[in-house]
């Protein structure tokens, strides 16, 4: 059997079925695990960036260092937690120069400082291709972390900013289109939305970061909360560019905006957009001029 027969999410489900959650901990299935710890809870997540999959050999190492940590910090933001500590395990590919590592570490540590995150350990090895593996630990007051699984029928769906800029920037980079520096920066130097997530922590019912694409990440909330999400196409704040289509922006990943459901009677904080609502049922439906539109093969999957 090929792994692609069950897919990335099928494989994770299978691993999940083989594990148990001890009391006081939430395991596989969300952006971070939650571990109760006295009056607090720890949020822990690990993510890998693989050369040839997440970045190319000629990637700017400074920006790669920043992005590697940014995507991990985003997983803590995705649960409305505060990122605190990290570990860096790096397998260095053949032919990588010392200067490359220096720039990578400068980018990594610059971002760490901007977010008050401390590097506490890691591991260094060599391999065919470069693989970067980061563990992030954040914290929250007990019971305050927001999961994917707690959206309720009647809630509104909100997003913390424009979506699709990262995909548009990726397209410009991939097709070697000159200019579009701002969009390229969105893709290469994403900003984890820690503050934004905290702003809505007390009115949100469920939360995730948009790493796989708006539609697919709505799907993650819908599936774990056992609800259906209706998205209003005309309310979605698409990136202001014609380099990518709206369809591509709905499916393209790596925006790292916060996507949340909030109680419908709560006021909306500055900077957030209401883009949909939670209803009974399952899956995600996009409504355009009152009609539902289906998008095929939407969002990133590894297998
Ligand atoms: P994200 O895109 O936010 O990084 P993933 O889709 O990578 O999340 O992972 C979804 C969930 O599955 C997370 O809770 C993660 O910890 C868990 N997970 C993924 N791969 C594995 C694995 N090989 N073993 C155990 N848990 C895993
Ligand atoms: Mg992951």
Which of 46, 71, 68 is CA-nearest to residue 55? 68
- Chain centroid, CA 1 distance in Å: 30
**Of the bound ligands, which one is closest to the alpha carbon of residue 220?**
1
Contact 220, 184 (CB under 8 A): no
Alpha-carbon Rg for the chain, nearest whole angstrom, is 19
Give me the residues paired with residue 231 across strands: 276, 286
196 close to ligand 1 (CB < 6 Angstrom): no
3 close to ligand 1 (CB < 6 Angstrom): no
Q: How confident is the model over 82-125, as pLDDT tens digits?
A: 999 999 999 999 999 999 999 999 999 999 999 999 999 999 99
Which of 212, 205, 120 is CA-nearest to residue 155? 205
Atom of ligand 1 nearest to the CA of 31: 3
- Tally of CA atoms within 13 A in the half-sphere of 253 that contains its CB: 15
31 close to ligand 1 (CB < 6 Angstrom): yes
Q: Of the spans 12-16, 71-75, 291-295, which averages the highest pLDDT? A: 71-75
User: What is the total residue count of the chain?
Assistant: 303
Say what the pTM is.
0.94
Per-residue tokens: 197: 């997530």
Distance (Å, whole) CA 51 – CA 92: 10
Q: How confident is the model over 141-184, as pLDDT tens digits?
A: 999 999 999 999 999 999 999 999 999 999 999 999 999 999 99
Pocket test of ligand 1: the residue of 7, 9, 12 to mutate, having most ligand atoms within 8 Å of its CB, is 12
Which of 101, 77, 97 is CA-nearest to residue 88? 101
Residue 28 CA to ligand 1 center (angstroms) comes to: 6
29 close to ligand 1 (CB < 6 Angstrom): yes
Ligand 1 atom 1, closest CA: 31
Contact 65, 103 (CB under 8 A): yes
Which of 6, 93, 5, 79 is CA-nearest to residue 44? 79
DSSP designation for 248: H
Strands 258-262 and 156-159: antiparallel
Mapping DSSP onto H, E and C, the string for 25-83 reads: EECCCCCCEEEEECCEEEEEEEEEEEECCCECCCCCHHHHHHHHHHHHHHHHHCCCCEE
Ligand 1 atom 11, closest CA: 29
Residue 218 CA to ligand 2 center (angstroms) comes to: 16
Domain 31-141 has CATH 3.30.1330.10: yes
**Domain map (residue ranges) of the chain:** 31-141, 156-293
Contact 220, 148 (CB under 8 A): yes
Ligand 1 atom 17, closest CA: 28
All residues at 6 or more sequence positions from 195 whose CB lies less than 8 Å from its CB, including other chains: none
Per-residue tokens: 49: 């960036």
Ligand 1 atom 20, closest CA: 12
Residue 178 CA to ligand 2 center (angstroms) comes to: 31
Q: How confident is the model over 3-54, as pLDDT tens digits?
A: 888 888 899 999 999 998 889 999 999 999 999 999 999 999 999 999 999 8
**Can you tell me whether residue 98 is helix, strand or coil?**
helix
Atom of ligand 1 nearest to the CA of 28: 14
Ligand 1 atom 19, closest CA: 12
**With bands split at pLDDT 50, 70 and 90, how would you rate the model's confidence at 296?**
confident
Q: Which CATH architecture has domain 156-293?
A: Alpha-Beta Complex (3.90)
């Amino acid at each position: 059997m090929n792994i692609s027969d069950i897919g990335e999410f099928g494989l994770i489900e299978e691993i999940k079925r083989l594990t148990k959650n001890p009391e006081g901990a939430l395991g596989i299935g969300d952006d971070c695990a939650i571990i109760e710890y006295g009056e607090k809870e720890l949020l822990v997540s690990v993510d890998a960036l693989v050369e040839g999959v997440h970045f190319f050999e000629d990637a700017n190492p400074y920006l790669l260092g920043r992005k590697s940590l940014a995507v991990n910090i985003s997983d803590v933001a995705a649960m409305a937690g505060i990122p605190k500590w990290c570990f860096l395990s790096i397998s260095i590919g053949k032919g990588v120069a010392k200067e490359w590592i220096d720039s990578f570490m400068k980018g990594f540590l610059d971002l760490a400082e901007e977010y008050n995150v401390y590097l506490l350990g890691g591991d260094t090895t060599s391999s065919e291709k470069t693989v970067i593996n980061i563990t992030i630990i954040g914290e929250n007051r007990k019971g305050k972390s927001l999961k994917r699984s707690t959206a309720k029928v009647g809630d509104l769906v909100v997003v913390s900013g424009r979506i699709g800029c990262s995909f548009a920037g990726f397209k410009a980079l991939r097709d070697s289109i000159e200019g579009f520096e701002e969009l390229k920066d969105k893709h290469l130097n994403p900003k984890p939305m820690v503050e934004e997530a905290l702003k809505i922590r007390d009115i949100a019912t469920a939360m995730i970061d948009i790493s796989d694409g708006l539609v697919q990440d709505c799907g993650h909330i819908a599936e774990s909360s056992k609800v259906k999400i209706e998205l209003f196409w005309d309310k979605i704040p698409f990136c202001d560019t014609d380099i990518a289509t709206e369809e591509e922006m709905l499916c393209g990943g790596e925006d790292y905006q916060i996507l949340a459901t909030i109680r419908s009677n709560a006021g909306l904080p500055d900077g957030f957009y209401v883009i949909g609502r939670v209803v009974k049922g399952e899956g995600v439906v996009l409504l355009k001029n009152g009609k539902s539109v289906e998008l095929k093969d939407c969002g990133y999957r590894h297998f």
